[in-house]
Homo-oligomer: A and B are copies of this chain.
Amino acid sequence: MAGDKRLYRGIVDKILASIDAGEFPPGGRLPPERELAERYNVSRPTIREAIIALEALDRVEVKTGSGVYVVESSKGWNGIDLSISPFELTEARAMIEGEAAALAAIMITNEQLGKLELVLREMEDESPAVYENADKNFHGIIARVTGNKMLDSVIANLWYVRDNSPSVHRAYQAICETDGSVRVAEHMEIFEALKERDDKKARDAMHQHFSRIINKLMIASEKEEMEAIQRKMHESRERFSLNHLVSSR
């Protein structure tokens, strides 16, 4: 299912999923190769191949005779700095993609505008997967329209961080629940600016787009912190309720 062709790739995905799910905590040890082989119904060489692939990705570290350990994700396990906050990422995106939009406005062709319009329609889809993909396509096309491969690469890198940094990814997941029509409208403003070949307007539209995202992030963040405080107070109340002293009175 997960493995298209090579079996070991499927195993890599499954192990990665187990790591992300917390079953194999960072710093902890993976089950022995023989056990994993039995668990996934594959041979031990296949497990070894998967582990070697994970090792190449800097996700695990094998110690001969001891075991294979999940690498501490506190640092940058994939070259990305996990300490980057959703706000930092969004600010950077606003600045960089804003300039990209401005440049794209004076470079874009009618054919590329057509592509953007198609993607814009996909964005109305209710399915999160479809919408996510359309969103990525929209911004990706604009990056490509600039005709600057360096810029395109940088923006691709921003998306990579967005998808692969757990904290950032979670934060973005939390705010993508709004109904499609609203966010389609936001992207529409950008599209209109590009259509008019108005670079300043395109930059502004892009800035506003990310400004709205920042706002949503802040609201979500605030809400989350409030809940955390309430949870903590609830725990304290249970712990120090002194009910065990006064209950049987």
Contacts and interface: CB of A to CB of B under 8 A. Distances in A.
Contact of A49 (B52, B95, B151, B153): B52
Interface string A1-33: 000011010000000000000000000000000
Interface stretch (A96-104, A124-132, A183-191, A232-240): A96-104
Copies in the complex: 2
A158 interface: yes
Summarize A's interface: helix, strand, loop or mixed: helix
A57 interface: yes
A155 B96 CA distance: 11
A109 interface: no
A219 interface: no
A38 interface: no
B151 A92 contact: yes
A154 B154 contact: yes
Given A56-B56, A99-B96, A161 B157 contact: no
B52 A92 contact: no
Contact of A92 (B8, B62, B154): B154
A81 B149 contact: yes
Interface string A62-78: 10100000000000000
A153 B56 contact: no
Interface string A114-150: 0000000000000000000000000000000000111
Which of A95, A148, A154 has the most chain B CB within a 10 Å cutoff?
A95
Nearest to A55: B53
Interface string A148-185: 11110110011001000000000000000000000000
A48 interface: yes
A154 B157 contact: yes
B52 A8 contact: yes
A224 interface: no
B88 A99 contact: no
A83 B149 CA distance: 8
A206 to B, nearest CB: 12
Interface of A: 5-6, 8, 45, 48-49, 52-53, 55-57, 62, 64, 81, 83-85, 88-89, 91-92, 95-96, 98-100, 103, 148-151, 153-154, 157-158, 161
6 contacts: A6-B64, A83-B149, A84-B149, A88-B150, A99-B99, A154-B158
Given A84-B149, A88-B151, 13 more contacts: A6-B64, A45-B48, A49-B52, A53-B55, A88-B148, A88-B150, A91-B150, A92-B151, A92-B154, A95-B96, A96-B154, A98-B99, A150-B161
